[in-house]
């Protein structure tokens, strides 16, 4: 099932991909490139872990939103989307939790 807010977020993110760097934060991330975007995903993941360890639900939600946003930017930079991740989750569901990597040859 698609999630309307995530779909709207992805539409906005894709529009920012073609905008000038100074147009917005998201546009500046695309200009800085994949390594910077991946670094931000790592930072937000760590901040989510720290919030989780503090046990404060509101902080976990706040950091998880930062993480999802930056992950969506990373996927867009790679020409992918949350739809691709949904499809992978559905594939795993279909195989009862067997999580062989799709397209794996070895």
Ligand X SMILES: N=c1c2ncn([C@@H]3O[C@H](COP(=O)(O)OP(=O)(O)OP(=O)(O)O)[C@@H](O)[C@H]3O)c2ncn1[C@@H]1O[C@H](COP(=O)(O)O)[C@@H](O)[C@H]1O
Residues in contact with ligand X by the rule CB under 6 A:
9, 12, 16, 24-27, 40, 43, 66, 69
Q: How far apart are CA 22 and CA 89, in angstroms?
A: 36
24 vs 31, beta carbon nearer ligand X: 24
CB of 8 to ligand X, least distance (A): 8
25 vs 93, beta carbon nearer ligand X: 25
Sign of the C-alpha dihedral, residues 32, 68, 82, 99? positive
Alpha-carbon 25 to chain mean position: 15
21 vs 99, beta carbon nearer ligand X: 21
CB of 30 to ligand X, least distance (A): 9
39 vs 91, beta carbon nearer ligand X: 39
CB of 80 to ligand X, least distance (A): 17
CB neighbours of residue 67 within 10 Å: 21
Inter-residue contact 31 to 17 (CB < 8 Å): no
CB of 61 to ligand X, least distance (A): 12
Alpha-carbon distance values, 22 to 12, 16, 25, 32, 87 (Å)? 16, 10, 8, 11, 34
């Amino acid at each position: 099932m698609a999630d309307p807010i995530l779909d709207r977020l992805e539409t906005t993110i894709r529009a920012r991909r073609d905008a000038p760097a100074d147009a917005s934060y998201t546009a500046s991330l695309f200009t800085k490139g994949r390594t910077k975007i991946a670094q931000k995903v790592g930072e937000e993941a760590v901040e989510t872990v720290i919030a989780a360890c503090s046990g404060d639900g509101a902080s976990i939600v706040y950091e998880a939103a930062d993480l999802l946003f930056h992950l969506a930017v990373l996927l867009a930079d790679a020409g992918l989307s949350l739809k691709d991740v949904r499809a992978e989750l559905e594939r795993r569901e279909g195989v009862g939790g067997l999580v062989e990597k799709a397209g794996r040859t070895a």
